[in-house]
C-alpha cells in the first residue's frame, strides 16, 4: 500500500501536448477514478504511472520514490487491461502465477497466493482452464486475479469493465467495490462511464483534453461542478444550460426571452454574461402563475421509475424529470420553476463556476 503523487506531470508526443501538468496526491488505500471523454488523456496518465509511457515532464512518486526512470516491473504495480490481456495459451493458474514465477517466488508461496486470490474471486473451479474456455466475466476475474496475487502497492485499472455486457458490468462493479473494501490497496481506475466513476470512487478526477477539470468526491463533483464541462459530463441526462445576461433580478437570454431568477451571486454584475445550469431533477412542475418559464414537451423518455420530458426554452434544450404519475403527454405545456439555491452559475467566457 502506498501513496501516489503527481508533481507537474506532463506528456507530449512531439509538439503535441496531451497532458498539461497534473498535480495530485492519491492517499494510501484510496480509490481514485479518472473519468473523461475519449482522447482526454486519462489512459495516458494511467500508463505513465504503469511505466508503459515515458513521462515528458514532472515527476510521479509511488510510496515515497520517484518512479520516472523505473521499469514497470520495478514499480510494484499491477494493471488490469480493458481486453484482459490474458496469455491465451496458459491456464488460469499459469496466467495468475506467471508474474510471481518470474520474480522467483517459491512454488509453495505461489500456489498459496493463487489459491487465496482464486477464493476471493470465486475462480477455484476454473484454475485449469484456458482463457478461451471462459466467459467475458470470468476472464475479467482472472485478469483481476493476476493483479491481486502480486500484492502490489498500487492497482491500475484501464477501463476494465468496458468489454462486458450491461448486466455483468453492474455485478462486477459491486464486486470491485467489495474487493477494494477487503484489500484496501491504493487504486487508480480509468473509465469513460460516469456511473462507474460515481459508484466506485472515493474521489474522482474529471479530465478534459489533458487538463484536470475537477477533483473531488462524487457528491462534490455532482453537486458543485467546477466548470461547464464537468456539469455537462457528469449526470444523465445532462444539466440544462441557459445562456444570457443579467438584467436586474432576471436573466435575459441571448434570444431576448426573460425570466425572473431572484437572487444572483454577488459577483455577477448587471449586464454580465453567464450560463445558468440546473439539473433535470431540480426543475419543478408548478402552477402557471408561479412559473419562471415554460416548455412545450417535444419528446418523453420513460426510464422506469422516472420519465424525462424534452422541450425547448428560447434556443436551449430543457430536460425535466417528471414523476411517472404526471400523465404528461407530448405537446403539453409544462410551467417550470427551480429553487434558486439549486442552480449553478458559470462564467460564459471561461466556463468556470461562479
Measured between alpha carbons, how far is 251 from 247 in angstroms, rounded to an integer? 6
Pick between residue 100 and residue 261 the one whose CB is nearest to other proteins: 100
Q: How far is the CB of 354 from other proteins (least distance, A)?
A: 43
Pick between residue 51 and residue 311 the one whose CB is nearest to other proteins: 51
Asked if residue 73 binds other proteins (CB under 8 A), the reply is yes
Residue from 1, 18, 24, 52 binding other proteins (CB under 8 A): 52
In the range 207-246, which residues lie near other proteins by CB under 8 A? none
Residue from 2, 19, 50, 197 binding other proteins (CB under 8 A): 50
Residue from 1, 18, 24, 85 binding other proteins (CB under 8 A): 85
Residue 256: other Cβ atoms inside 10 A: 8
Helix, coil or strand: residue 107: helix
Measured between alpha carbons, how far is 49 from 52 in angstroms, rounded to an integer? 8
For 303-328, give the DSSP string: ETTEEEEEEEETTEEEEEEEEGGG--
For 143-168, give the DSSP string: HHHHHHHT--SEEEEESTTTTS-HHH
Q: Which of left, alpha, beta for 220 (phi over 0: left; psi -120 to 50: alpha)?
A: alpha
Angle of helix 136-149 relative to helix 166-183, nearest 10 degrees, comes to 20
Q: How far is the CB of 152 from other proteins (least distance, A)?
A: 9
* Region of 86-94, 215-223, 248-256, 303-311 interacting with other proteins (CB under 8 A): 86-94
Asked if residue 2 binds other proteins (CB under 8 A), the reply is no
In the range 88-147, which residues lie near other proteins by CB under 8 A? 88-89, 98-99, 102-103, 146
Asked whether the beta carbons of 22 and 206 are under 8 A apart, the reply is no
Q: How far is the CB of 297 from other proteins (least distance, A)?
A: 47
Sign of CA dihedral 241, 245, 249, 251: negative
Pick between residue 160 and residue 218 the one whose CB is nearest to other proteins: 160
Measured between alpha carbons, how far is 342 from 117 in angstroms, rounded to an integer? 46
| CA distance to 176, 226, 229, 249, per residue, from 213 (Å) | 26, 7, 8, 30
Pick between residue 146 and residue 192 the one whose CB is nearest to other proteins: 146
Residue 308: other Cβ atoms inside 10 A: 17
DSSP code at position 340: G
* Region of 4-12, 76-84, 176-184, 344-352 interacting with other proteins (CB under 8 A): 76-84
Pick between residue 62 and residue 283 the one whose CB is nearest to other proteins: 62
Residue from 26, 77, 120, 295 binding other proteins (CB under 8 A): 77
Pick between residue 26 and residue 79 the one whose CB is nearest to other proteins: 79
Asked if residue 70 binds other proteins (CB under 8 A), the reply is no
Pick between residue 87 and residue 302 the one whose CB is nearest to other proteins: 87
Asked if residue 61 binds other proteins (CB under 8 A), the reply is no
DSSP code at position 342: G
Pick between residue 72 and residue 237 the one whose CB is nearest to other proteins: 72
Q: How far is the CB of 204 from other proteins (least distance, A)?
A: 24
| CA distance to 14, 124, 145, 195, per residue, from 120 (Å) | 44, 9, 9, 24
Residues engaged in binding other proteins (CB under 8 A): 50-52, 71-73, 77-79, 81-89, 98-99, 102-103, 146
Amino acid at each position: 500500500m502506498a501513496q501516489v503523487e503527481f508533481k507537474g506531470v506532463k506528456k507530449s508526443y512531439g509538439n503535441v501536448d496531451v497532458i498539461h501538468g497534473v498535480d495530485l496526491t492519491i492517499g494510501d488505500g484510496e480509490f481514485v477514478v479518472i473519468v473523461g471523454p475519449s482522447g482526454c488523456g486519462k489512459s495516458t496518465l494511467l500508463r505513465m504511472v504503469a511505466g508503459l509511457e515515458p513521462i515528458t515532464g514532472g515527476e510521479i512518486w509511488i510510496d515515497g520514490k520517484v518512479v520516472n526512470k523505473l521499469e514497470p516491473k520495478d514499480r510494484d504495480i499491477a494493471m488490469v487491461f480493458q481486453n484482459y490481456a490474458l496469455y491465451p495459451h496458459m491456464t488460469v493458474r499459469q496466467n495468475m502465477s506467471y508474474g510471481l514465477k518470474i520474480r522467483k517466488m517459491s512454488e509453495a508461496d505461489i500456489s498459496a497466493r493463487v489459491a487465496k486470490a482464486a477464493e476471493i474471486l470465486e475462480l477455484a473451479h476454473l484454475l485449469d482452464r484456458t482463457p478461451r474456455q471462459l466467459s467475458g466475466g470470468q476472464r475479467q476475474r482472472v485478469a483481476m486475479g493476476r493483479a491481486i496475487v502480486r500484492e502490489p502497492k498500487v492497482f491500475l485499472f484501464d477501463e476494465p469493465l468496458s468489454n462486458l455486457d450491461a448486466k455483468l458490468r453492474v455485478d462486477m462493479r459491486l464486486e470491485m467495490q467489495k474487493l477494494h473494501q477487503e484489500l484496501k490497496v491504493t487504486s487508480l481506475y480509468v473509465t469513460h462511464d460516469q456511473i462507474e466513476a460515481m459508484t466506485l470512487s472515493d474521489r474522482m478526477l474529471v479530465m478534459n483534453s489533458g487538463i484536470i477539470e475537477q477533483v473531488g468526491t462524487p457528491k462534490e463533483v455532482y453537486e458543485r461542478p467546477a466548470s461547464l464541462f464537468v456539469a455537462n459530463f457528469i449526470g444523465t441526462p445532462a444539466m440544462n444550460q441557459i445562456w444570457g445576461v443579467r438584467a436586474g433580478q432576471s436573466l435575459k437570454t441571448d434570444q431576448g426571452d426573460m425570466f425572473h431568477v431572484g437572487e444572483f451571486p454577488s459577483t455577477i454584475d448587471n449586464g454580465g454574461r453567464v450560463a445558468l445550469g440546473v439539473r433535470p431533477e431540480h426543475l419543478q412542475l408548478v402552477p402557471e402563475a408561479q412559473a419562471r418559464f415554460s416548455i412545450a414537451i417535444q419528446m418523453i423518455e420513460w426510464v422506469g421509475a422516472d420519465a424525462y420530458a424534452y422541450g425547448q426554452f428560447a434556443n436551449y434544450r430543457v430536460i425535466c424529470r417528471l414523476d411517472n404519475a404526471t400523465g404528461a403527454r407530448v405537446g403539453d405545456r409544462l410551467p417550470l420553476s427551480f429553487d434558486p439555491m439549486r442552480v449553478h452559475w458559470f462564467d460564459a467566457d471561461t466556463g468556470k463556476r461562479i
